[in-house]
Structure 1
Amino acid sequence: MNDAGIISVLLFLINLFFTYRGLKDHSFFDAYKFDVDKILIQKQYKRIISSGFLHIGWTHFILNMYTLYAFSSSLELYVGLLPFLIIYFASLTGGSLFSLFVHRNHGDYTAVGASGAVSGVVFAAIALFPGMQLGFPFIPIHFPAWLFGLVYMLYTIYGVRSSRDNIGHEAHLGGAVIGMLTALFFQPAAFTENTFTIFIIALPTVIFIAFVLLKPQALLIDNLFFKSHDTHDSIDHRYNKQKAIRQKEIDAILDKISRKGINSLSEKEKQKLDDLSQR
């Protein structure tokens, strides 16, 4: 296995910075995590990307970064720096958008993790090097990359259906498909050379994606915060509900100003008024 390339190292450092800040500062974590209502209603589209650099804990971070290291070195060297970056961010974006589609009516759904992007790198590497041998530190056992990828995706499918964590398992699936397709776009000859392996790996993923597209209600699971989803509220309904809440907050602040003057507002209330007035 080659040493990690420069882009992989930079991605590791960015993930490390965001994860460290997020674990130390809840407000930072909350500002950048994947949040359906804040994306769809408040138009905070940055969360589609930024959530891919946060993790819920160091175990989650280490698993993702080890997987990135294991698969990225050969891929980055083979396809080049810019295509590798495109694969990574296309997978991250595709995974987040798939999660957004699946949970578009689950207003309280949140998730974090680089798994969408990493899954894209994994499946891009498998599409190009299905026979690549992998191993774990201090364990003298190696196995082909395609087997690792298959087990990884079966675990992801299990996680989507049964997990109560805050990891974006749907992003694994979306990222995997986008990563493989992007790699094949840059290296179309690989499809002919590795058709059978690509088919075997892609089949359970495609079947499950079709399942969640046809029956998204099957994914009504709680997340880390153990909340029940707002299952069938439309986007318009949730928007109007939040708009009414914001108007009520503005009215309360304006009422206080009329009674006691603007100097009676606390710094928090002034900031709140400023934020609400800009929306």
Structure 2
Amino acid sequence: MIQISVTNIIVAANVILSFIALQNRDVLSKLLFNPYQVVHRKEYYRVITHAFIHGGFMHLLFNMYVLYSFGNLIEQIFTIPQVFNRVFPSLEFWGVSKGYLYYILLYFGGIIFATLPAIKKHNNNPSYNSLGASGAVSAVVMAFILLLPTTNLRLFFIPIDIPAFILGAAYLGFEYYMSKRDQTGIAHDAHFWGAIYGLVLLLILKPGFGLNFLSEVGQFFGIA
């Protein structure tokens, strides 16, 4: 049986649409997330399309590298019974079809949820625009941290292994702090709320993930 990779399809769509938009400013402007256009002109499609275009090659490369690395693993946990049961032997697998549905809900729900603060704050500001998949990618990364909290991760600029749950806490704190500062030029609020969405969704879908997280972290500190 051929295993469909939703992650790879999303990555390919991002690459293709981003390159088209970077070569055509009219296409770029039509796909951007602009809260004013969404609210006052009912251009709701922008809530989704902005997450498939990027401001430059490095922006695209970083987001897609992170999505490819974390997304494929999360998708396998969600959709392959053997992988799910190996990672969570005490939890019941929810089924392949639901796994794909939940993964799509994780990614596209992350896109939508990450835009809500900007819609509230900038719906009367025609000059506010944003683009990029960072909100959805944050949801996927935070899902990974919830599911595999003690996995060692390594940042580009910090050449040491750091447990995922520590990086996750630092990431949430940093993005929350930066979201309170104006004029940064980066949608930190989208990063923060996309990450929160990823955590909350998985805890709703299967509360056992939360218990597993606490157990893993407890064992890390020698508590459990």
TM-score (norm 1): 0.62
Q: Any conservation in 2 of the 1:156–1:169 contact (CA below 8 Å)?
A: yes
Matches within 5 A, 1:219-238: none
Mapped partners of 1:59, 1:163: distance in 2:
21
Q: 1:57 to 1:196 in 2, by over 3 A?
A: farther
Q: Which has the larger radius of gyration?
A: 1
RMSD of Structure 2 on Structure 1 (CA):
2.5
Q: Secondary structure at the match of 2:127?
A: coil
- Given candidates 98, 104, 115, the residue that maps to 2:117 is 98
Mapped partners of 1:16, 1:158: distance in 2:
30
Amino acid at match of 2:172: M
Q: For this pair of structures, how many residues does the alignment match?
A: 193
In the alignment, which residue of structure 2 is the partner of 1:224?
Answer: none
Q: Any conservation in 1 of the 2:36–2:122 contact (CA below 8 Å)?
A: no
Q: Any conservation in 2 of the 1:36–1:106 contact (CA below 8 Å)?
A: yes
Q: Secondary structure at the match of 1:44?
A: coil
Residue 107 of structure 1 deviates from its aligned partner by: 3.4
Q: Which runs of 5+ in 2 are unaligned?
A: 80-99, 218-224
Mapped partners of 1:178, 1:94: distance in 2:
7
In the alignment, which residue of structure 1 is the partner of 2:129?
Answer: 110
Q: Any conservation in 2 of the 1:51–1:112 contact (CA below 8 Å)?
A: yes
1:192-231 residue CA offsets vs partner (Å, 9 max, x unmatched): 2224999xxxxxxxxxxxxxxxxxxxxxxxxxxxxxxxxx
Q: Any conservation in 2 of the 1:124–1:181 contact (CA below 8 Å)?
A: no
Residue 28 of structure 1 deviates from its aligned partner by: 0.6
Mapped partners of 2:23, 2:216: distance in 1:
42
Amino acid at match of 1:66: Y
TM-score (norm 2): 0.76
Residues 1:175 and 2:174 aligned together:
no
In the alignment, which residue of structure 1 is the partner of 2:172?
Answer: 153
Matches within 5 A, 1:52-201: 52-80=51-79, 81-135=100-154, 141-160=160-179, 161-165=181-185, 167-195=186-214
Identical pairs, percent: 30
Amino acid at match of 2:166: L
Amino acid at match of 1:79: F
